[in-house]
Structure 1
Amino acid sequence: MQQDSPDWSTSRNLSDIDIEHRYRLLIEAVQDYAIFMLDAAGNVASWNLGAQRIKGYSPDEIVGRHFSRFYTDEDIAAGKPAQLLATAAWQGRVEDEGWRVRKDESRLWANVVITAVHDEQGDLLGFAKITRDMTERRRLEDLEHASAASALVQQARENEQRRIARELHDDLGQQITALKMTLALHETELARHFSEAGRARLGSVREMADQLDAMATSMRRIAADLRPPMLDDLGLEAALEWMTEGFEQRYGVPVRCEISPDVLCLNDLAAISLYRVIQEALTNVARHARANEVFVTLSADDRHYHLQIHDDGVGLPKAPAPRADCFGLLGMRERISQLGGVLSVDSIPGRGVTITARVPLARVLVESQP
């Protein structure tokens, strides 16, 4: 009896059906990408789990609806959805990146690829659309841009403060000195025309001289606060010694500054950033801590530069209310972040505050010259 030959066409059709079924299951199972079909008019024809997760619509809510509802009002007014379909139909594929709208009207930053699907005769059947949610990446990029912009602003501010400090010292300081010399000259000339008893009446002139001395001292302090000349001339260690000595004299709180014997040549950004962090921390101590002593420690290991500022004051309350000066702590964190480091604040009520910063050595050292 002759055995029937296998029906290869039937077998091949069953194989094609099996592959198509598995492919459909694969597409429906993908959750990281929104993968769906549009008909030639742009209406949603299929919807996978990824599309539901990313867009927020269930299949019953979106299938048969036009895909333009995923676009912002601005893009719809500009005719962007129709333009993308027209480009895909003409070129075979189009890629776009921009804001899209979820079901709850929140926005996501999406990378979208639309591919035209044709039949064997070349007629347009519809479009395959793949969307990837790039919102987190966009937010990170925005944060990086904001951080870079903030660094530029801080650098511009430091340069402006340096200019103002120089003008205060060189211009206003010289004028005060000249005024004091002129006043001393007039005092000498007036003294020649008065008797011994009359010279006692020149006390007001001497008081003016004392006021000029106080004015010059204040001017130098303001100029140094804007930009300490020692930081540029002698480095961070000398600048910190000068700052802590001034802090002790002004507020009566001793500051113990311990600096590692390892000589580290810091770049300009690192030096001014660490200086400003310590300056802000001491300002907070003077305003709020009621401390008896402050400890400032600078050290380094093979990989990191370490800064610690500790006071023995009242500490922070367990649930501190927002204060108008809270931007000081934000500024300290931002300066350390720009150096690629991290800053932490630890406090126990009644036991003081400890501010710790750690930055990579590669970000703070002066680059070696070739």
Structure 2
Amino acid sequence: MTKRSSVSTDRWCEQSKIDLEHRYQFLVESVEDYAIFMLDPSGCVQTWNPGGQRIKGYASAEIIGRHFSVFYTDDDIAVGKPQALLEAALARVHVEDEGLRVRKDGSTFWANVVITAVTGPEGELLGFAKVTRDMTERRRLEELERLQARAAVMEQARESERKRIARELHDDLGQRLSALKMALAVHEKQIWQQGAEISDQIDAMTESLRRIAADLRPPCLDDLGLTAALEWLADSFQRRYGIKVRLAVHGEPEGLNELTVLSLYRIVQEALSNVARHSRASEVSIDLSKDDLFCRLRMSDNGVGLPPGEKLRSDAFGLVGMRERAAQIGGDLQISGRPGNGVHLNLLIPVQGLKGAAR
């Protein structure tokens, strides 16, 4: 190779290096979801990118030259966390950390941070590369998932307790009332007048006891399945409130898992309770169907509906509980209504993942 061609090659290599540096700088400056910047060996900010300004709130002129500990909470600074992270990065080449960080305006956010030690050809420390990502939204979603899982566990515990109480009411107190009535019948001739009154009171108490136990946990839901439980619920509601109930069940809802069966039953129970309290309806229809793709629950009443322009509040009509139950089984719950046209409930649940031991 001639000297001229060697010089030309060197110039080409140098130009390629400059182009590569420009491309790298362009890449860093185009990233807005990550704060990517350099620190000098002491921890002072040397470079800044638009992502840093978006996440942390500082313009380049406001932050370059300042120590990066400004991003940390007072508690973290008090225990020496910023310096400890630099020392860890130097010892292990890079270190990753998650925790609260502070914006320019004093607000905090949850951040994922990676700090990498940058060394020169002779191993000398040139500084640190720091990449920060705002994880607040992801952490919020994770916390929401944890709360939903915890709510599901708590609901399962509540249902188990309802089941236990219902069983004790039926088996223990119910039997004692029956024994009391039998004993009263033995002495009925001596205390005929009083005995008849007491007997009627015991009958009323026994009926109330059975209703309370059934409201807590209907035995037919465990013994006969969802369809039978809904039929019992509809008949009991109709006799108690004088509101006609039309129930139709299509498909095979009994193939759903226990949580879905219980959630559907409780949603229907709460919706009927709302009809009794608010609708002034004379008739309500319940339609439950299931095919290979979806399980659908539709309920409508012929009551007063919703006043003009009124929207359902998040705490109205027991909506919070129904929405939580729907969310636990992956369902989409919609409630609507117009004045004089009743209230309509539609619940759509994807069948995938709902199958379990047949009830």
TM-score category (smaller protein) = over 0.9
Q: Secondary structure at the match of 1:43?
A: coil
TM-score by length of 1: 0.90
Q: Secondary structure at the match of 1:307?
A: strand
Equivalent positions of 1:197-276 (< 5 A) are 202-262=192-252, 264-276=254-266
Distance, in Å, in 2 between the alignment partners of 1:4 and 1:232 is 92
Equivalent positions of 1:40-79 (< 5 A) are 40-79=41-80
Partners of 1:340 and 1:363 within 8 A in 2: no
Structure 1 residues 133 and 263 mapped into 2: Cα distance closer, same or farther (>3 Å)? closer
Structure 1 residues 71 and 361 mapped into 2: Cα distance closer, same or farther (>3 Å)? same
Distance, in Å, in 1 between the alignment partners of 2:218 and 2:253 is 20
Distance, in Å, in 2 between the alignment partners of 1:217 and 1:358 is 36
Q: Secondary structure at the match of 1:315?
A: coil
Aligned length: 355
**Which residue does 1:127 correspond to in 2?**
128
Partners of 1:111 and 1:131 within 8 A in 2: yes
**Which residue does 1:31 correspond to in 2?**
32
Partner amino acid for 1:132?
Answer: R
Deviates more, 1:54-63 or 1:275-284: 54-63
Structure 1 residues 40 and 4 mapped into 2: Cα distance closer, same or farther (>3 Å)? closer
Deviates more, 1:137-146 or 1:6-15: 6-15
Partner amino acid for 1:236?
Answer: L
Structure 1 residues 47 and 263 mapped into 2: Cα distance closer, same or farther (>3 Å)? closer
Distance, in Å, in 1 between the alignment partners of 2:253 and 2:148 is 30
**Which residue does 1:283 correspond to in 2?**
273
How many angstroms does 1:4 deviate by? 5.6
Distance, in Å, in 1 between the alignment partners of 2:317 and 2:280 is 20
Equivalent positions of 1:190-201 (< 5 A) are 190=190
Partners of 1:254 and 1:292 within 8 A in 2: yes
**Which residue does 1:142 correspond to in 2?**
143
Partner amino acid for 1:128?
Answer: A
Distance, in Å, in 2 between the alignment partners of 1:78 and 1:327 is 50
**Which residue does 2:18 correspond to in 1?**
17
**Which residue does 2:94 correspond to in 1?**
93
Deviates more, 1:133-142 or 1:302-311: 133-142
How many angstroms does 1:108 deviate by? 2.2
User: What do the CA deviations read for 1:77-104 (whole angstroms, capped 9, x no partner)?
Assistant: 2221111111001111101122222223
Q: 1:319 aligns with which of 310, 316, 319?
A: 310
Distance, in Å, in 2 between the alignment partners of 1:182 and 1:4 is 122
Distance, in Å, in 2 between the alignment partners of 1:332 and 1:43 is 53
How many angstroms does 1:25 deviate by? 2.1
Partners of 1:347 and 1:354 within 8 A in 2: yes
Distance, in Å, in 1 between the alignment partners of 2:341 and 2:30 is 56
User: What do the CA deviations read for 1:138-180 (whole angstroms, capped 9, x no partner)?
Assistant: 1111111111000000000000000000011111111111111
**Which residue does 2:7 correspond to in 1?**
7
Partner amino acid for 1:316?
Answer: L
How many angstroms does 1:265 deviate by? 2.1
Q: Secondary structure at the match of 1:46?
A: coil
What RMSD over aligned residues (CA atoms) do the two structures have, in Å? 2.0
Distance, in Å, in 1 between the alignment partners of 2:72 and 2:154 is 35
Partners of 1:264 and 1:365 within 8 A in 2: no
How many angstroms does 1:225 deviate by? 0.2
Distance, in Å, in 2 between the alignment partners of 1:139 and 1:309 is 34
Distance, in Å, in 1 between the alignment partners of 2:211 and 2:159 is 17
Structure 1 residues 3 and 167 mapped into 2: Cα distance closer, same or farther (>3 Å)? closer
How many angstroms does 1:311 deviate by? 0.8
User: What do the CA deviations read for 1:93-143 (whole angstroms, capped 9, x no partner)?
Assistant: 101122222223333222211000112222212100011222222111111
Deviates more, 1:262-271 or 1:355-364: 262-271
How many angstroms does 1:13 deviate by? 3.4
Distance, in Å, in 2 between the alignment partners of 1:49 and 1:173 is 72
Distance, in Å, in 1 between the alignment partners of 2:353 and 2:212 is 30
Distance, in Å, in 1 between the alignment partners of 2:62 and 2:151 is 44
Partners of 1:344 and 1:356 within 8 A in 2: yes
Partner amino acid for 1:154?
Answer: E
Distance, in Å, in 2 between the alignment partners of 1:310 and 1:326 is 17
Structure 1 residues 127 and 71 mapped into 2: Cα distance closer, same or farther (>3 Å)? same
How many angstroms does 1:362 deviate by? 2.8
Equivalent positions of 1:349-364 (< 5 A) are 349-364=339-354
How many angstroms does 1:42 deviate by? 1.0
Partners of 2:227 and 2:254 within 8 A in 1: no
Distance, in Å, in 1 between the alignment partners of 2:182 and 2:239 is 28
Partners of 1:43 and 1:66 within 8 A in 2: yes
Distance, in Å, in 1 between the alignment partners of 2:141 and 2:62 is 32
User: What do the CA deviations read for 1:35-90 (whole angstroms, capped 9, x no partner)?
Assistant: 00011111111100111111111111111111112122332222211111110011
1:293 maps onto 2:283 in alignment: yes
Distance, in Å, in 1 between the alignment partners of 2:198 and 2:312 is 46
Distance, in Å, in 2 between the alignment partners of 1:170 and 1:208 is 22
Partners of 2:227 and 2:253 within 8 A in 1: no
Larger radius of gyration: 1
**Which residue does 1:104 correspond to in 2?**
105
